[in-house]
């Protein structure tokens, strides 16, 4: 067992050392700003550095190769450990967060969910605001790296459908993986810089622009004010809408476009489906808002586009309390909570391709009922879809809704009302951020929830971010028996 776990702990140690380096950078920023939280980040950096060095030196294994079982463990354990060390500055801060609140906030950040237990965020020290944004930015980078390189190999992520994975983990594939990793980082950095510049040009301060850009590109949704994006004008909202959409597209597609610009690259069934959904629901909500005389036509389309894109891409920004727009808007926002962006992006949710595959599978089944002897091939992007990919999508969907039901029931036993229980479970599993209702809606937060509910939702956020099966498999006896 020790031989099995040591390489995993070694890699986790390296990731923890990276976190300690980020803490040191934030401590330097705090020193420059004469921030009272500087000592907090130095203490947290020291603890994190010690833990990382201990794991690296005690578990050092030269020339190891990770097998699939180790990758399952590495993927889950790394997100848990990064969440725990990410909570240290929040726990030691002068904001006096409890352990459960600090962990909840860190898990929400690293999983790019965007749910928060904090109020009066604008009064937080700049270093803590920057740390929350960094957690989301790092989590977003980890999401696309996991979606493109690890989950396809484990036959969980949807990227296997788009033939971007490397299923051969021999020495021959390592240069290809390293090259893809570099391109992903460069693309992610470029998108972040472009978003920061755009925010700054339309009126944000540089500090706000940097923080909101990291939250936008990671589709995380942490803001620097309790009002989220509600304190900004329409130009800022449109810039945010654009970059949320870009960040919800497959990053491999963005890399291909950067290397050889062509609109033909976007003739992708998943991308077209994603953009079609955005356009259709925005049009529906815009018409409803105009009909209710809540906004002028331009304000209506701005509010509808921004808030719907924010929820569908699982970013979680809010420009106002959309639960006050009537029953139709509440129902619409609840439905689109489950959609998510494209596979291989930073967004969460069930992902568009799973809905498309389910539709194609249903259509094929109906054809077979009409023509029992007919032979029908399910195609996606002009290529036949393997049966195991469809079965994987069905298994994920079944597990998702079973988990949603269990988490909802557990939250209800803790005294939460049905709307809060259901939408809290949904927003955690889809990594959206705000739920619905007076407590956890876009105008509220998760502070008043019982501690047990926060621990449960923290687990649900991790499960949703890891595509459920990655974490679930660790709880099976077969996994540990090998």
Query: Which segments are annotated as binding site?
Result: 112-113, 220, 314-315, 431-432
Residues making up the binding site for K(+)? 112-113, 220, 314-315, 431-432
Per the structure block, which two tokens stand in for 341?
A: 């962006």
Under a CB-based contact definition with an 8 Å cutoff, are residues 227 and 146 in contact? no
Contacts for 437-440 with beta carbons within 8 Å, 24 or more apart?
437/323, 440/115
Under a CB-based contact definition with an 8 Å cutoff, are residues 12 and 55 in contact? yes
Strands 379-380 and 383-384: antiparallel
Helical segments of 202-296, H only: 206-217, 234-247, 251-259, 269-291
Rounded to whole angstroms, the Cα distance separating 290 from 30 reads 46
Q: Is 383 helix (H, G, I), strand (E, B) or coil?
A: strand
Q: Residue 56, Cβ neighbours under 10 Å: how many?
A: 17
CB-based contacts of 307, cutoff 8 Å, min separation 6: 318, 319, 320, 322, 333
Rounded to whole angstroms, the Cα distance separating 246 from 459 reads 28
Burial of 257 from C-beta contacts in 10 A (0-12 / 13-18 / 19+): middle
Under a CB-based contact definition with an 8 Å cutoff, are residues 385 and 354 in contact? no
Under a CB-based contact definition with an 8 Å cutoff, are residues 419 and 437 in contact? yes
Please provide the DSSP assignment of 312-373 as one string.
HTT----SS-GGGS-HHHHHHHHHHTTT---TTSS--SS-HHHHHHHHHHHHHHHHHHH-TT
């Amino acid at each position: 067992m020790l031989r099995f776990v040591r390489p995993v702990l070694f890699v986790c140690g390296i990731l923890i050392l990276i976190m300690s380096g980020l803490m040191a950078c934030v401590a330097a920023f705090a020193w420059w700003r004469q921030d009272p939280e500087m000592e907090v980040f130095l203490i947290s950096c020291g603890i994190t550095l010690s833990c990382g060095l201990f794991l690296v030196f005690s578990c050092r294994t030269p020339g190891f190769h990770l097998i699939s079982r180790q990758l399952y463990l590495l993927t889950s354990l790394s997100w848990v450990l990064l969440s725990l060390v990410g909570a240290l500055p929040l726990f030691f801060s002068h904001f006096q967060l409890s352990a459960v609140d600090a962990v909840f906030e860190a898990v929400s950040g690293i999983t790019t969910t965007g749910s928060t237990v904090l109020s009066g965020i604008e009064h937080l020290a700049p270093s803590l605001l920057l740390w929350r944004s960094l957690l989301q930015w790092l989590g977003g980078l980890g999401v696309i790296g996991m979606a493109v390189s690890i989950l396809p190999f484990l036959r969980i992520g949807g990227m296997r459908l788009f033939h971007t994975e490397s299923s051969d983990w021999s020495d021959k594939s390592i240069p290809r993986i390293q090259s893809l990793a570099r391109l992903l980082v460069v693309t992610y950095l470029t998108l972040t810089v472009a978003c920061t510049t755009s925010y700054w040009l339309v009126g944000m301060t540089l500090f706000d622009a940097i923080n909101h850009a990291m939250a936008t590109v990671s589709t995380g949704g942490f803001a620097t004010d309790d009002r989220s994006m509600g304190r900004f004008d329409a130009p800022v909202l449109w810039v945010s809408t654009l970059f949320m959409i870009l960040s919800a597209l497959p990053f491999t597609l963005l890399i291909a476009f950067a290397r050889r610009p062509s609109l033909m690259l976007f003739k992708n069934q998943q991308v077209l489906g994603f953009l079609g959904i955005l356009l259709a629901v925005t049009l529906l909500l815009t018409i409803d808002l105009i009909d209710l005389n809540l906004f002028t036509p331009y304000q209506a389309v701005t509010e509808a586009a921004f808030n719907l894109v924010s929820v569908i891409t699982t970013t979680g920004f809010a420009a106002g309390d959309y639960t006050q727009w009537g029953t139709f808007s509440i129902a619409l926002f609840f439905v689109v909570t489950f959609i998510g962006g494209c596979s291989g992006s930073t967004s969460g949710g069930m992902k568009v391709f799973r809905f498309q595959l389910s539709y194609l599978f249903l259509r094929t089944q109906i054809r077979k009922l009409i023509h029992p002897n007919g032979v029908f091939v399910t195609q996606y992007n002009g290529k036949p879809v393997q049966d195991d990919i469809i079965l994987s999508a069905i298994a994920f969907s079944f597990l998702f809704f079973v988990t949603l039901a269990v988490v909802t029931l557990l939250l209800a036993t803790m005294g939460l009302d049905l709307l809060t229980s259901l939408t809290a479970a949904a927003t955690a599993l889809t990594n959206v951020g705000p739920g619905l209702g007076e407590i956890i809606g876009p105008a509220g937060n998760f502070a008043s929830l019982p501690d047990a509910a926060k621990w449960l939702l923290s687990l649900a956020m991790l499960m949703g971010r890891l595509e459920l099966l990655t974490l679930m498999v660790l709880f099976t006896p077969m996994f540990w028996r090998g």
